[in-house]
């Protein structure tokens, strides 16, 4: 086993466990590393904290995109394709690991890595958390310590060689992606591929929300982006109606109406969702609001109210029969 030390990097030691191939990759902003990793404590047992193979997917990071654990970019930059290396990193490089690990674990569990996180810098977020939700990571937050990273580098891709994830795009790339995603979503709707269309609309909304986060709410830049967000959210909700995800529609239309309480289309979609889950009073109120805000939709509202009345009457008849049957069986 060859042992070497990274030069000019304080608090890092490297051991090459398996040599790689070729030259060190040529990197530029936007290059993507794909690799597996293990994180271990520097204790007698070499306790494993995380293992990407157990999580079932390799890790990816983008050069120059402010990954919270900056030292990883440095470590990977020292590796050749196919190389397996072990890095010992002192506390000066590992203080953010608990937060990084929390996000990676949540992603592997199919959850939102930013759920509940305030829009502040990483160090600020560390003080906001009472708990990461994982006991071993809470311990790391309380008592930062040196860590060992074992990494296996699979590939390094130039920015032009892969589809950029939304978060890795520049402002200009996000703005350019939005109309493309919108158009793709519309095309998928025409093919009645509603789940795929919803995903396109959602990705476009995420692009715009990321840009909005850098603007002051309700000022010109923010409002311009919001005007692009609203139709995408409405399209997304229409897909969810088609898919029967009515509570998803209620959540997103209500959020939209909190900002734009004169949007007749949002009320119409929320009314249909309320009707689908038997919220008769709320559905009627929303339908009536639609007719008031947009008289051109009065005919559509009248039709929906008629259908709602028929469905509710049918449900009341069925419920009455069911209760009578229960009562008679209990009497018998």
Q: Which domains does the chain have, with CATH numbers?
A: 4-157 (3.10.50.40), 171-313 (1.25.40.10)
Q: What is the pLDDT of residues 141-186, one digit of tens each?
A: 888 899 999 999 998 888 766 556 666 677 787 888 889 889 999 9
- The answer to whether the beta carbons of residues 97 and 71 sit under 8 Å apart is no
Q: What is the pLDDT of residues 281-313, one digit of tens each?
A: 999 999 999 999 999 999 999 999 999 888 888
Structure-token pair, residue 204: 């476009």
Whole-model pTM above 0.75? no
- Catalogue the E-assigned strands of the chain: 2-4, 12-18, 32-41, 48-51, 59-62, 84-89, 147-157
- The DSSP letter of residue 21 is B
pLDDT tens, per residue, the chain with 332 residues: 455 556 578 899 999 999 888 888 888 777 888 999 999 999 999 999 999 888 777 888 888 765 678 899 899 999 999 999 999 999 999 988 988 888 778 776 665 444 544 333 443 343 444 577 888 888 888 888 999 999 999 988 887 665 566 666 777 878 888 898 899 999 999 999 999 999 999 989 988 988 888 888 889 999 999 999 999 999 999 999 999 999 999 999 999 999 999 999 999 999 999 999 989 999 999 999 999 999 999 999 999 999 988 888 887 787 777 766 665 555 55
């Amino acid at each position: 086993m060859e042992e070497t030390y990274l030069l000019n990097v304080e608090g890092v030691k490297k051991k090459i466990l398996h040599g790689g191939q070729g030259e060190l990759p040529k990197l530029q902003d936007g290059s993507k590393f794909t690799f597996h990793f293990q994180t271990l404590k520097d204790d007698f047992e070499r306790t494993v904290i995380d293992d990407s193979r157990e999580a079932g997917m390799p890790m990816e990071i983008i050069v120059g995109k402010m990954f919270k654990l900056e030292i990883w970019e440095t470590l990977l930059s020292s590796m050749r394709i196919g190389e397996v290396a072990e890095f010992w990193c002192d506390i000066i490089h590992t203080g953010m690991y608990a937060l990084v690990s929390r996000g990676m674990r949540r992603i592997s569990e199919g959850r939102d890595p930013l759920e509940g996180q305030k829009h502040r810098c990483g160090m600020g977020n560390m003080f906001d958390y009472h708990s990461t939700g994982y006991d071993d990571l809470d311990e790391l937050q309380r008592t930062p310590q040196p860590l060992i990273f074992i990494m296996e580098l699979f590939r390094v891709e130039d920015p032009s060689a892969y589809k950029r994830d939304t978060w890795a795009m520049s402002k200009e790339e996000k703005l350019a992606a939005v109309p493309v995603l919108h158009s793709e979503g519309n095309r998928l709707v025409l093919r009645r591929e509603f789940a795929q269309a919803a995903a396109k609309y959602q990705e476009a909304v995420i692009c715009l929300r990321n840009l909005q986060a850098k603007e002051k709410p309700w000022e010109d830049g923010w409002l311009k982006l919001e005007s692009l967000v609203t139709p995408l959210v409405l399209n997304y909700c229409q897909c969810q109606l088609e898919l029967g995800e009515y509570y998803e529609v209620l959540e997103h239309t209500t959020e939209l109406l909190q900002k734009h309480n004169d949007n007749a289309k949002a009320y119409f979609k929320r009314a249909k969702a309320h009707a689908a889950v038997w919220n008769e009073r709320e559905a009627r109120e929303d339908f009536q609001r639609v007719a008031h805000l947009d008289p051109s939709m009065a005919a559509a509202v009248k039709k929906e109210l008629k259908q709602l009345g028929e469905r509710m009457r049918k449900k009341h008849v069925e419920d009455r029969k069911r209760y009578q049957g229960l009562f008679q069986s209990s009497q018998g």
